[in-house]
Amino acid sequence: MDEPGRGRRPRRDRHVREHLDPCDHVDRRQRGRREDRRAQRLLAEHGRHDERQDVPRVPQPVGSNAQGEGAGGVHHVCTVCASPLLRSATVRFRVLGSLEVQADGLCTPRGPRKQKILASLVLNAGRVVTVDQLVDAVWELDPPATAARQIRNTTTELRRDLVAQGAPASVITAGGPGFLLDLTDCWSDVSAFEQRLATAQHLTGPDALVELCHALALWRGPALNGLRSEPLRTAARVLDERRLTALERRFGLEIDLNGGADVLEEVSAVAEQHPFREGLVAHLMRAHYLAGRQADALAAYHRLRTLLDEELGVEPGQPVRDLYERILRQDPALSAAPAAEHLIPRQLPPAPRDLRGRAELVEQISADLTDGPVVLSGPDGAGKSALAAHVAHQLAARYPGGQLYADLSHTTAFDVLGRFLRALGVAPSDVPADADERTATYRTLLASRRVLVLLDDAASAQQIQPLLPGYPGSTLLITSRRSLAALRDAARHVVPALDERDAATMLLDAAGSEDAASASLCGRLPLALSVVAGRLAAGSDPIIARLRDRLVGQRALLDELTAGDLDAAIAVPAARLPAPVTWHDQRRSRPPPCEAGRVAAEQGPLPNAAPDTQR
């Protein structure tokens, strides 16, 4: 018998089995749905939820399937990647299975020529595919003399068909020597798959496992199934290999986290389809062993060794041989329970119960957060903090690594970093004393996680700089009175006062009185409105009358209420002061108040006072 690891010449009278081709021809549509359900289960097991439960659906197109991204196209925000929102995609291209195009129903082009051209463009979305490459994909080795002209004519027809189905006019553009597929306002499963894998590459543990499950759920069958073209089959084999690699990593993470019993049947089936893949056999051995089936684990190794010896004349690789030896001697480390996951920080303040008049702004902020930090600015009382808390809660599932929160009004970035590091699992004794070291440790920890950081009431861009993540994946949502223009690469949104209807309705809901005049007196600022609503609910209508008497006819009414910044915000804290402390004690360090704040301060303790999150 040859020594382990020592190869010899393969026998010439045997042929390598077709299993060497990693592209199996088993329909994976049901498997994709299982991957999606597995991701949901993992999210639940680790105290998370799927953002798809939080995003409003739009009606499904005719012929669509409501089983998830991979099974038919649920319209929802892509959670971790920067791909276009599937909810707003006009056309969806699928090649991870048979070629499908979906707009208002299935509209896959007819005819192999159009299908091969479209498949080539989808595989290379965002890049120019030359006419020569398209000729090879359509005719391979025997193109007609008019092949180039036919390619151009057919591609023009294909573009016309897609535009007629609702695709933007720029969906296919001529680019120098060929054509380019532009995915702006469109979506493709292969791009989403690659983005999911890229995200999982930087994650570990349950976070990586969830991403891999979602990536694998996009598959419905062998890539480009049914298209007969050797250039396309070559590209399909590359995709199938990436799927198997992702599947191997998913199996490994699942076994590390949960043992082998849950995945034993699935690993066994996939390993049987691909008996030459040593990584799959290693996972099968581990799954058997952890399920208490040592004999089956050893038998799996011997089957692999016999197959490689007979077909290729080689021994299994060193990692599989080492695993075999460990199983043979029943290495206790193989059965060790996985290390307990550190408690994931969930520090967000409570979400507001009612966020009125902000739907469009919420959607804009949600989209911008995929690209980097977002700053919400505006006057005090406009509801910046409430809006930020609402968005953060709505998008929490995008960030399975946790959510961190800090109110920056009375602290420093140095102290905040210390709190964040402890929340991320750093022992108090290991928190660096040096500011730069704290920032470096913080960024190192965020590099392998997806964390949303909510920073409230920032004073300057300099205060934010040490808290910026160093790598894509995690991001900041910031509120401030200022726009923080010095903060580079940040999206900015000004939070305005409510419109008249929403402001009046807020009073109606809170106090049973739709008082447009009172809403106007408050500058339509949510915090000031909540103060007045509390007074109305307590039956203090004379206070509102006094406000009207003092303010009616003053030209600077709205300026006083909205531009003064501190006036609306001071109403609540001033009203909570003990009786001996009057407004005059505070105005030494404050600008002159608007009348709404002044009257509220003079009336003593406020019932039903609004929380600070209305800032």
Q: The domain containing residue 596 runs over which residues?
A: 500-614
Better-scored residue on pLDDT, 241 or 262: 241
Mean pLDDT of 368-373: 82
> Which run of H or of E encompasses 480?
strand 475-480
Q: Is the pLDDT of residue 106 over 50?
A: yes
Better-scored residue on pLDDT, 573 or 459: 459
Q: Is the pLDDT of residue 454 over 60?
A: yes
Same domain as 363, residue 509: no
Structural domain contains residue 25: no
Better-scored residue on pLDDT, 547 or 241: 241
Residue 372 DSSP one-character state: S
The β-bridge partners of 223 are: none
Q: What is the pLDDT of residue 333?
A: 86
Same domain as 509, residue 482: no
- With cut-offs at 50, 70 and 90, classify the pLDDT of residue 25: very low
Q: What is the pLDDT of residue 479?
A: 94
Q: What is the pLDDT of residue 404?
A: 96
| DSSP string for 102-156 | EESEE-PPPSHHHHHHHHHHHHTTTSEEEHHHHHHHHHTT---TTHHHHHHHHHH
Same domain as 154, residue 99: yes
Q: What is the pLDDT of residue 609?
A: 40
- With cut-offs at 50, 70 and 90, classify the pLDDT of residue 538: low
Mean pLDDT of 315-337: 90
Please say which residue of 243, 275, 292 terminates a domain: 243
Top mean pLDDT of 24-33, 307-316, 487-496 is at 307-316
Q: What is the pLDDT of residue 588?
A: 38
Same domain as 485, residue 369: yes
Structural domain contains residue 459: yes
Q: What is the pLDDT of residue 210?
A: 84
Number of domains in the chain: 4
Mean pLDDT of 306-326: 95
Same domain as 187, residue 147: yes
Residue 562 DSSP one-character state: I
Q: What is the pLDDT of residue 581?
A: 36
Length of the chain: 615
Same domain as 141, residue 46: yes
Rounded Cα–Cα distance for residues 188 and 118 (Å):
12
Q: What is the pLDDT of residue 7?
A: 39
Q: Is the pLDDT of residue 590 over 80?
A: no
Domain at 296, CATH number: 1.25.40.10
Q: What is the pLDDT of residue 613?
A: 46
Q: What is the pLDDT of residue 471?
A: 80
Is there a contact between 94 and 217 (Cβ–Cβ < 8 Å)? no
Domain at 206, CATH number: 1.10.10.10
As a whole-number percent, the residues of the chain with pLDDT over 70 amount to 65
- With cut-offs at 50, 70 and 90, classify the pLDDT of residue 535: low
Same domain as 515, residue 388: no
Token couple for 198: 């890229």
Cα angle 227-23-69, degrees, rounded to a multiple of 5: 75
Write out pLDDT tens, residues 145-178: 999 999 999 999 999 999 988 888 999 999 789 9
Structural domain contains residue 233: yes
Please say which residue of 463, 494, 525 terminates a domain: 494
- With cut-offs at 50, 70 and 90, classify the pLDDT of residue 571: very low
**Mean pLDDT (the chain, rounded):** 75
Q: Is the pLDDT of residue 276 over 90?
A: yes
